[in-house]
Structure 1
Amino acid sequence: MISNAQFKALAKKYGTPLYVYDVSVMERQFKALKVAISYEPKRILFAIKANSNLYILKLLRDLGVGFDAGSPTELFLAKKAGALANEISVTGRNFSRQELEYIIKHKTYFHADSLSQLEQVGKLAKGAEVGVRINPASGAGHHAKVVTAGMHNTFGIYYKDVNKIKEIAKKYGLKIIGVHQHIGSGILGVDSFFAPTETTIKIAQEFENLRYINIGGGLGIPYKPQDKSVDVKKYGIWISKKMKELSFVLGKDILLLLEPGRYLTGQAGNLLMEVTSIKKTPAGELVAGTNSGMTHLIRPAMYGAYHKVDNISNPNGRKQKVTIVGNICESSDVFAKDRQISFISEGDLLVIRDAGAHSFAMSSRYNGRLLPAEILIQGKKDKLIRRRDKFEDFLPR
């Protein structure tokens, strides 16, 4: 764990706001997941949308991780990180013809998200090997906005449309070699995976050329004090049992693919910021303003997400109820509402924890705000892995 003294030294060296990532946490999470799932053959693919920094991708690649790409750009990054075609899964929505041509050319594990997309692939690459994303009709997630399966959800092909998949495949000579699901994100209760995965495994047996099943991602991390860590051991035992049964029934080893994102990098990330003002609202509520904002970490504004906030300048001070806000001209730019935090003064350094996934990756330059620098901590060494924005970055290129 990065100490308060290290954070202070990094803030002095690089300035704030600043993203800081701990390599040891990523290594710990990968090892835990790999050990928990005894089934072989398997391949763990990192969901690039969680954190797209190329240095982090290369680090994960060195650990033996492949990649899940949701766009041509993410596919490009996966290749730049050193991944081979059979170490990359591509699953996305509403690709243009040009994007599909780019994806097909790279011969990755590609999954059609809709019947119409499968038809488009057939027209572009008759006889190709392809996977399909199934909507198993039930999903889960830490917020309604991240649930990606269910009767009213727009992701994937409804599992009862399996005959339509076969018709299109036959029409264009496509070989369905894989079945994919992704039911949602930030899931802490592993039981939520069981029913939809059972459905996906059942559907997968409909395809005679089946080589793999991709069960997607979704494993969460404990953001709130009362949250319990996801039981990856229970998850691993269950999916290993199901895959062994499937391989036995089909008389061949079926490759298991899974796509964790948040689980691998979420707890590794921290966002450092400085308190720039202290004020009270007309109602008497204490507010601490900072030099960061929702453009750097949008999860609290977008999902009402909880992130632990610590005052590392006064870690043992008396607690006070305070609202931590950002520097964007929007009422929703609130990091923490009425939170008990050690007494805060102007100039104090705050750290927002568990900001290694869907954090910088969802950042923007809205309101003319510069993107922060990113730092990687490996052992006692720190490395700049993305420079801080400059005013000139706003100029036309």
Structure 2
Amino acid sequence: MAEKKVPFNLAQVQEITRTYPTPFHIYDEEGIRTNARRLKAAFSWAPEFKEYFAVKATPNPYLLALLKEEGFGADCSSLAELYLAQAAGIGGEEIMFSSNATPANEYQAAVDMGAVINLDDISHIEYLTEHVGMPEMISFRYNPGPLMAGGNDIIGYPEEAKYGLTKEQILQAYPMAKAKGATRFGLHTMVISNELSPDGFVTTAKMMFDLIGEIYEKTGIRMELVDFGGGIGVPYRPEQEAVDLEYVGEGVRRAYEEMIFAKGLAPLKITMECGRMITGPYGYLVATALHKKEIYKNYVGLDACMANLMRPALYGSYHHITVLGKEGLPCDHVYDVTGSLCENNDKFAVDRELPEINRGDVVVIHDAGAHGHAMGFNYNGKLRSAELLLRPDHSVKLIRRAETLADHFATLDFPGAALDMSSILKK
């Protein structure tokens, strides 16, 4: 069983909280960079490899700029994500724009930036052409339906997912796009999420390589790019093992040699759009225990809530918990670890065995570096927390300040003088 560790100790966090009070998210720069380099190394054999980091996982331009330094692009699915990528210095075909139910102005922004447009439906060919025009480079998202067995709570079963084109539609779409002016083509899929079995990714690659061959045989259209999507999971539980990236890379290499190179379909650019596995294990939600409650169960109430990390409430997900300064003590107490929302599912852990927790203890929730702060919200008037970057020299940089009440009320235009916001905000 792997030991879940944090890259800081209690004394360091106590020093950080002199400036930045809990709760906050903190990201380990060194861990993220090392992980990014490992993924690139696993695919160093490829004629060309590009990881488009899934901006939705951790949409902070400081982190996007950090990953750009490691050679990553950006996978975007909205106007805001496009602008975040641009702010981080990522542009052109370093951006993959994969979206669904997309308005014309977002397609226009992506085209203006020179991004690769990845269409989610065959009907979007006409929509894109009518409102924006057909770009030179176009990609389509493939949904294999029931051919891809299995599913999970995040993405479900492919045949029940709202994403992508069927094989029949794929074979129709490329000639249609070519007739409207496209001259370069890509193929994309995303059929699994938070998957820890390395064989699943090799199987996905083989499925895509096979489809690329079929597209060429039936339409004469060659693929320039294939995007396997993301989906590489995080070992949230101590007993789980991280995906062996080297195994995946080697398995995909063998399939490439047999199914692409040997058939004269090379060179083919290999791309991915991992988000969770890049930053997830290297982000932590740091909170303080405010209250203890003993009724039918024992509860510990934190100053964080599901507005800071909603995965446990949304998916029933496990996130490991460390009580700083008590790492060596026995886990001989059982708690529900909660936030303060008026929702009973506002719980980070249920029936979790932990050391005795006292008021004021610092609690660290692991693997919160993706789909954590990004999924925040303001229900109950809760304010989203700060984001910090832990530098390799153990200094800390503020990369997003905490929200304030002024931020929360900024979009209100309440008539009359019945509610004097200025006086409230001064309190």
Give yes or no for TM over 0.5.
Answer: yes
Alignment of structure 1 residues 134-173 onto 2, 5 Å? 134-137=142-145, 143-147=152-156, 150-173=158-181
Residue in 1 aligned with 2:264?
250
Q: How far apart are residue 234 of structure 1 and its match?
A: 1.1
Please say if residues 51 and 273 of structure 2, whose CA atoms lie closer than 8 Å, have aligned partners that are also in contact: yes
Aligned mate of 1:288, from 271, 275, 300: 300
Aligned mate of 2:196, from 188, 202, 206: 188
Please say if residues 270 and 354 of structure 1, whose CA atoms lie closer than 8 Å, have aligned partners that are also in contact: yes
Q: How far apart are the structure 2 equivalents of 1:87 and 1:156?
A: 22
Please say if residues 25 and 284 of structure 2, whose CA atoms lie closer than 8 Å, have aligned partners that are also in contact: yes
1:12 aligns to what SS in structure 2? coil
Alignment of structure 1 residues 261-340 onto 2, 5 Å? 261-281=275-295, 283=296, 285-319=297-331, 320-340=333-353
Q: After superposition, what is the alpha-carbon deviation per residue over 1:228-273, rounded to whole angstroms, capped at 9, x for unaligned?
A: 1111111110112223341442353111111111111011101111
Q: How far apart are the structure 1 equivalents of 2:135 and 2:374?
A: 36
Please say if residues 11 and 272 of structure 1, whose CA atoms lie closer than 8 Å, have aligned partners that are also in contact: no
Please say if residues 104 and 128 of structure 2, whose CA atoms lie closer than 8 Å, have aligned partners that are also in contact: no
Distance 1:18 1:139, change over 3 A: farther
Q: How far apart are the structure 1 equivalents of 2:182 and 2:172?
A: 13
Please say if residues 122 and 169 of structure 1, whose CA atoms lie closer than 8 Å, have aligned partners that are also in contact: no
- One-letter amino acid of the structure 2 residue matched with residue 203 of structure 1: L
TM-score (norm 1): 0.94
Residue in 1 aligned with 2:103?
96
Residue in 2 aligned with 1:375?
388
Residue in 2 aligned with 1:353?
366
Q: How far apart are residue 118 of structure 1 and its match?
A: 2.2
Q: How far apart are the structure 1 equivalents of 2:151 and 2:38?
A: 22
Residue in 1 aligned with 2:420?
none
Residue in 2 aligned with 1:20?
26
Q: How far apart are residue 98 of structure 1 and its match?
A: 1.8
Q: How far apart are residue 314 of structure 1 and its match?
A: 3.1
Alignment of structure 1 residues 28-47 onto 2, 5 Å? 28-37=34-43, 38-47=45-54
Q: How far apart are residue 176 of structure 1 and its match?
A: 5.2
- One-letter amino acid of the structure 2 residue matched with residue 294 of structure 1: M
Please say if residues 16 and 291 of structure 1, whose CA atoms lie closer than 8 Å, have aligned partners that are also in contact: yes
Distance 1:298 1:140, change over 3 A: farther
1:14 aligns to what SS in structure 2? coil
Alignment of structure 1 residues 224-239 onto 2, 5 Å? 224-239=237-252
Q: How far apart are residue 30 of structure 1 and its match?
A: 0.9
Residue in 2 aligned with 1:60?
67
Distance 1:170 1:82, change over 3 A: closer
Q: After superposition, what is the alpha-carbon deviation per residue over 1:177-201, rounded to whole angstroms, capped at 9, x for unaligned?
A: 1001111221100222233332222
Please say if residues 139 and 192 of structure 1, whose CA atoms lie closer than 8 Å, have aligned partners that are also in contact: no
Please say if residues 222 and 265 of structure 2, whose CA atoms lie closer than 8 Å, have aligned partners that are also in contact: no
2:158 aligns to what SS in structure 1? coil
Aligned mate of 2:81, from 42, 57, 74: 74
Q: How far apart are residue 100 of structure 1 and its match?
A: 1.7
Residue in 2 aligned with 1:119?
126
Q: What is the RMSD computed on CA atoms of the aligned residues?
A: 1.9
* Unaligned 5+ runs, structure 2: 1-6, 412-427
* Unaligned 5+ runs, structure 1: none
- One-letter amino acid of the structure 1 residue matched with residue 143 of structure 2: N
1:125 aligns to what SS in structure 2? coil
Q: How far apart are the structure 2 equivalents of 1:296 and 1:200?
A: 37
Q: How far apart are the structure 2 equivalents of 1:100 and 1:356?
A: 29
Q: Which deviates further from its counterpart, 217-226 or 137-146?
A: 137-146
Residue in 1 aligned with 2:416?
none
Q: How far apart are the structure 2 equivalents of 1:141 and 1:51?
A: 27
Please say which structure displays the higher CA radius of gyration.
2
Q: After superposition, what is the alpha-carbon deviation per residue over 1:89-128, rounded to whole angstroms, capped at 9, x for unaligned?
A: 1101110122222222222111100011122123331463
- One-letter amino acid of the structure 1 residue matched with residue 79 of structure 2: P
Q: How far apart are the structure 2 equivalents of 1:368 and 1:242?
A: 52
Q: How far apart are residue 142 of structure 1 and its match?
A: 8.2
Q: Which runs of 4+ in 1 moved over 4 A?
A: 138-142
Q: After superposition, what is the alpha-carbon deviation per residue over 1:151-192, rounded to whole angstroms, capped at 9, x for unaligned?
A: 222111112323321453254233351001111221100222
2:384 aligns to what SS in structure 1? coil
| 1:384 and 2:398 matched | yes
Please say if residues 292 and 326 of structure 1, whose CA atoms lie closer than 8 Å, have aligned partners that are also in contact: yes
